[in-house]
Amino acid sequence: AENIERHSYDVVVIGAGGAGLRAAIEARQAGKRVAIISKSLFGKAHTVMAEGGAAAAMGNVNAKDNWQVHFRDTMRGGKFLNHFRMAELHAKEAPDRIWELETWGALFDRTKDGKISQRNFGGHEYPRLAHVGDRTGLELIRTLQQRVVALQQEDKAANGDYESHLRVFAETTIVRLLKDAEGRIAGAVGYYRETGQFVLFQAPAVILATGGIGRSYTVTSNSWEYTGDGHALALLAGATLVNMEFIQFHPTGMVWPPSVKGILVTESVRGDGGVLRNSEGKRFMFDYVPDVFRKQYAETEEEADRWYNDQENNRRPPELLPRDEVARSINSEVKAGRGTPNGGVYLDVSTRLPADEIRRRLPSMYHQFKELADVDITAKPMEVGPTCHYVMGGVEVDPDTQGTNVPGLYAAGECAGGMHGSNRLGGNSLSDLLVFGRRAGLHAAEYLDSFDADGRPAVVAEDVDAAVEEALAPLSNADGENPYTLHHDLQITMNTLVGIIRKPEEVSEALGKLEEFKPRHKKVGSTGGRRFNPGWHVALDLRNMLIVSECVAKAALEREESRGGHTRDDFPAMSPTWRQVNLICSLSADGTGVDLKHQPIPTVRPDLLALFELSELKKYFTDEELAVLEPVAI
């Protein structure tokens, strides 16, 4: 068999974005030996691209903010499908995680009196996003990496080896998780992208922190790594995914020129005063405020404009509705023939703020449009449209420990599910990474303490061979199907048939196509050897994209309602009975597809429900639930 490089660790963290790094730091601080693995270069993850900021109810800009209000906003944004316990932990712990970053060297933008400044964002009642201009993710990753280096320096001082407790394996893709004979996690197999050499990591605990799935869609803000690897690795190892039908289409991606279609235009543009107009010049969002949100949003342009300076006495502009609402509204305007020449709508900040202010507050956006589209956003509106951005669905985890149903397997960050319900609020991801990355690291370390040195789960040699054989298969299909063609066909299928608005006949058609793609995938081949061979890498990523897309399509066909990031053409309303259901995907018994089952959603604790008015809960809950709730709600 293959001569495979071997390593032994306590914890293997797959992914070096915010969630992975925060998890690794926590496990190392608990004294564990940790490997951090990243498919791309170290430091290049979606977390770096996060622009707007990290949501944390510190109350620095509006003292009325607190965890209860943040919890409420998160549940509203997710339309009550969130795991309440995750939303609670997130709201309570986010401020500490931001503070901790400052103690590790982060420097957030300041208020006039020197506190961490906070900006407005869609769905957040008060200014809440801690930020560094529009480059927050960069500061976050920079700080976490700096913390990793600081810990490595401590290790060097203590035992002469920088990498004794924390080692980074960059440009290394994990292709399979391994379990022992008892079904506990025992390690993972991957390959170095540059050489094609395989590598085995033996470890009792694995933390998945692999981010999103956007590359299954044509128009996406996601970069090449985001092929749903963690989701697929979890499924293949026997873990489950929850509510995969919920995908966030960010309302504002670039629509022109074609080469950059999908690239994100940060929500901060709207948070800082940018407005949406159709081709007739109308500020159309006023026509799209749904009933559940009517009380919190301005009815006239005058009131909306006053809000930027006086939030006490005015309601917020409808441009700051949650993302699912804004994306659907833009979609409707374009479909009704009121779109721009390139099929988007206008996002204008040029008539709203002085040019130097725009350049100061939105430096990345200014450069992005100047360089990629030759548009000066201080003088002209941008053209924008929805883009596949974020997956709310993910690996099903325990809300406190981030553990899955496979002993030793944890998931955190975007690849984990539950926290955001049917729709994520902007800024709630960066805080999610910190809160739950830390928790995953902590509990993985605790799990480790249950083993003595010789009682650790052992990998099964045949499983290692099988993983290597599976990964090598495309290289012996030299005349096989071109992986790029199959990838293209998959993207078109998901984009056109399982996109923003879902029709059952189209989703069924997509499922039929996904079945046709399976035998094609078996025949996928790439010429060239194992040394940096992108065609081979895509062939391997396709397994993950196909299985995850099947989860998305199956769940989208099953859920007969519209909620958050899932809109059914034939069931346009939210259904209180569907709110009681989580859709759970698992690998089918023969391993060739996925099974879907209904699972009751956990009952929200009464003290948390009491944070809402009964009149609001009535929009989400069934009559039977309300009969029980009535006595506890205020």
Catalytic residue among 33, 97, 176, 250: 250
Residue 19 near ligand FAD by CB under 6 A:
yes
Q: Which two tokens stand for residue 81?
A: 């499908």
Q: Which residue's Cβ has the minimum distance to ligand FAD?
A: 17
Contact region with ligand FAD (CB under 6 A), list: 49-57, 76-84, 342-350, 573-581: 49-57
At 539, the amino acid letter reads A
Scan residues 408-467 and list those touching ligand FAD (CB under 6 A): 413-415, 426-430, 433
Could you give the CA distance from residue 240 to residue 203 in angstroms, rounded to a whole number?
21
Of 133 and 290, CB closest to ligand FAD? 133
Provide the 3-class DSSP secondary structure of residue 599.
Answer: strand
Catalytic residue among 128, 270, 315, 456: 270
Q: Which DSSP letter does residue 88 get?
A: H
Among 436, 38, 446, 397, which Cα is nearest to 205's? 446
Among 32, 541, 433, 430, which Cα is nearest to 208's? 433
Strand runs (DSSP E) across 1-40, as ranges?
5-8, 11-14, 34-37
Residue 53 near ligand FAD by CB under 6 A:
yes
472: left (phi over 0), alpha (psi -120 to 50) or beta: alpha
- Smallest distance, ligand FAD to C-beta of residue 634, A: 31
Strand runs (DSSP E) across 344-408, as ranges?
345-348, 382-391, 394-395
- Smallest distance, ligand FAD to C-beta of residue 148, A: 13
- Smallest distance, ligand FAD to C-beta of residue 135, A: 10
- The single residue listed with the structure tokens 């509006």 is 62
Scan residues 97-156 and list those touching ligand FAD (CB under 6 A): 136-137
Binds ligand FAD by CB under 6 A, chosen from 225, 319, 348, 625: 225
- Smallest distance, ligand FAD to C-beta of residue 538, A: 13
Residue 77 near ligand FAD by CB under 6 A:
no
Scan residues 226-285 and list those touching ligand FAD (CB under 6 A): 229, 264
Residue 82 near ligand FAD by CB under 6 A:
no
Residue 17 near ligand FAD by CB under 6 A:
yes
Binds ligand FAD by CB under 6 A, chosen from 40, 82, 216, 582: 40
Of 16 and 539, CB closest to ligand FAD? 16
Strand runs (DSSP E) across 375-492, as ranges?
382-391, 394-395, 409-411
Residue 147 burial (C-beta neighbours within 10 Å; 0-12, 13-18, 19+): buried
Computed over its alpha carbons, how large is the radius of gyration of the chain? 24
Q: What is the dihedral of CA 28, 34, 35, 40, to 10 degrees?
A: -20
270 is catalytic: yes
Q: How many residues bind ligand FAD (CB under 6 A)?
A: 41
Q: Give the DSSP H or E segment for 253.
A: strand 247-254
Could you give the CA distance from residue 189 to residue 162 in angstroms, rounded to a whole number?
24
250 is catalytic: yes
Of 207 and 289, CB closest to ligand FAD? 207
- Smallest distance, ligand FAD to C-beta of residue 585, A: 19
> What residues make contact with ligand FAD under the rule CB under 6 A?
14-20, 37-40, 45-47, 49-53, 136-137, 173-174, 209-211, 221-222, 225, 229, 264, 390, 413-415, 426-430, 433
